[in-house]
Amino acid sequence: MAYPVPMWAGANHAESGFLPFSPSLATSSTGNYDYALLVKTYKNITTEDTTLFTSDGSGFSRTAADESLLQLSFSAAAFALWVNDTAGGVVTYNGAYIRTVSGLPLFTYVGQNASSSLSNGCVFGISPGATYLTVQDATAINPTTSNGITTGDFLQLLFGGGRGSILYPQAGDTLEWEVVGNDGSLAGFTCKVEVTFT
């Protein structure tokens, strides 16, 4: 039996081997990256990491009808060099667009299952003050005006150390979390992110 493919379905729908899923997450309303979200990391509120702890959505791979996965891997030494003893932690934001064929959608986002294996007393988790948006388009990320799927900080990676010394994650340390986008009609679509420091 043939299934209709929505107009917004990109080429990666066919390549994935899965039928189109609604709702789903994407990096824009009609953009290149379906079943994906944006990842942006900042130190000192406005200084963005543009080469390491970041993603435009192109690295996501669909692993199930209602789930996709991004695996980020980057040098712990390069990350420490970017922070350069100028911050006690970093904040990571996620941006997403909920694609839907629902006639009366009720858009929601949630971050969940944040976990880590970290050295040097570093701590990772969802900010206790995270409040999630209820709009279709939550792709804008600029920490002074908009924070993706939340109204404030989303994920916090706090470094270890004490007076005069900052201790960073080491090679082999890991982080992971999930973002679920929903339109009120199904369980929602999940994007999972796994980060490994090398």
Q: Report residue 58 as tokens.
A: 């192109």
- The neighbouring-strand residues paired with 19 are none
- Identify residue 97 by its one-letter amino acid code: Y
* Per-residue DSSP letter, 129: T
pLDDT band of residue 59 (cuts 50, 70, 90) is very high
Of 50, 60, 54, which Cα lies nearest the Cα of 12?
Answer: 60
User: Which two structure tokens, joined as six digits, stand for 165?
Assistant: 């010394």
Report the pLDDT value the prediction gives residue 16, as an integer from 0 to 100.
52
Please determine, for residue 13, whether its predicted confidence score (pLDDT) is greater than 50: no
Q: Looking only at Cα atoms, what is the longest distance across the chain?
A: 66
Report the SS3 class of residue 12. helix
Residue 24 to residue 100: CA distance in whole angstroms:
7
Decide: residue 50, CB within 10 A, 0-12 exposed, 13-18 middle, 19+ buried: exposed
8: CB partners within 8 A, 6+ apart: 26, 29, 30, 34, 99
Residues 160-187, mean pLDDT to the nearest whole number: 93
How sure is the predictor about 49, in pLDDT bands with cuts at 50, 70 and 90?
very high
Is residue 22's pLDDT more than 50?
yes
* Whole-structure pTM value: 0.90
Give the residue, 14 or 111, on which the prediction is more confident.
111
Paired residues of 162 in beta bridges: 165
pLDDT for residue 151 is more than 90 = yes
* Beta strands 123-126 and 174-182, pairing class: unpaired
The proportion of the chain whose per-residue pLDDT surpasses 90, expressed as a percent, equals 83
Q: What is the arithmetic mean of pLDDT over 155-166?
A: 89
Sign of CA dihedral 31, 156, 51, 121: negative
